[in-house]
Amino acid sequence: MRTKIVAGNWKMNKNFSEADDLLTEILDSIDEKGKPEDVDVVICPPFVYLEMASDMAEDSPVFIGSQNVSQFESGAYTGEISAAMLRSMHVDFAIIGHSERRKYFGETDEMLLGKAKAALKNDVLPIFCCGELLPEREAGKHFDIVKAQLENTIFNLDPDDFNRTIIAYEPVWAIGTGVNATPEQAQEMHFFIRELIWNKFGAEIANDKTILYGGSCTSKNAKELFSMPDVDGGLIGGASLTTSEFVKIIDAAKE
């Protein structure tokens, strides 16, 4: 059975008390209304709020994730956060390879594979991002780009480890722009990714793989996007910063 996931990526937003308020509101709302049984919810606040978030979410159905993780195990890596540290704070997921990390922090495929391995070794599940730039789509290269991004990274994991990853397709031109991929564009790429997985790891792993869509996903377009057969939920940026929006997006992932 494929798990549906709605994950909120708060990026570098909110001060401490705002983060506390937002998470309190989201948890209260889920507590009151309940959460669709077949949808897992993950919140990825900035690192410095992870301890608070994981304490607050402890008795709730909400999982906590980080927005990055080091590829190194421990030691002299000033400013880095290891997967073991995350695990010790009950952080269950880590976003890896977000396009903003690739663009502004020079993260390479090799680093991303290292991060995925480090996370998995510590039972932190990667939400692994891939997606093409606008000129790449305009040149008709989007399938090749996404294929290479996967083949250079998590396709090198052994099947058991690969099986524990979540993939997020995030066309870079859709992130934070208000221009989402159409449901048809998302479906076409998700189907392509599932086929690649099928060819590399077999039918069972391909069928069970959760593939999220990310990029200007809001309460207005979530239902249509999530109703596509190969779209198994979303990685939500801007719209995860408002409780009412985020909760509506969670509901939209319901069967």
In terms of CB distance, is 1 or 12 closer to ligand PGA? 12
Residues 165-194 that bind ligand PGA (CB under 6 A): 170, 175-176
131 binds ligand PGA (CB under 6 A): no
SS3 content of the chain, % helix, strand, coil (to 5): 50, 15, 35
Query: CB 42 → ligand PGA: shortest distance, Å?
Result: 12
CB 95, CB 135: distance < 8 Å: no
Active site residue 98: yes
d(CA 218, CA 239): 6
> Do β-strands 125-130 and 62-66 pair in parallel, antiparallel, or remain unpaired?
unpaired
Place of tokens 């524990």: 164
In terms of CB distance, is 162 or 213 closer to ligand PGA? 213
Query: How many residues at the interface with ligand PGA, by CB under 6 A?
Result: 13
Question: Which residue has its beta carbon closest to ligand PGA?
Answer: 237
202 binds ligand PGA (CB under 6 A): no
237 binds ligand PGA (CB under 6 A): yes
Residue span 6-25 as binding mask against ligand PGA, x where in contact by CB under 6 A, dash where not? ---x----------------
Active site residue 142: no
How many helices (H) and strands (E) the chain has is answered by 12, 8
CB 42, CB 65: distance < 8 Å: yes
CB 232, CB 2: distance < 8 Å: yes
Residue span 207-236 as binding mask against ligand PGA, x where in contact by CB under 6 A, dash where not? -------xxxx-----------------xx
CB 250, CB 217: distance < 8 Å: no
Phi–psi pair at 156, nearest 5 degrees:
-90, 0
d(CA 209, CA 68): 21
Query: CB 106 → ligand PGA: shortest distance, Å?
Result: 18
User: Active site residue: 136, 170, 190, 245, which one?
Assistant: 170
**Residues classed as catalytic:** 98, 170
Residues that bind ligand PGA (CB under 6 A): 9, 170, 175-176, 214-217, 235-239
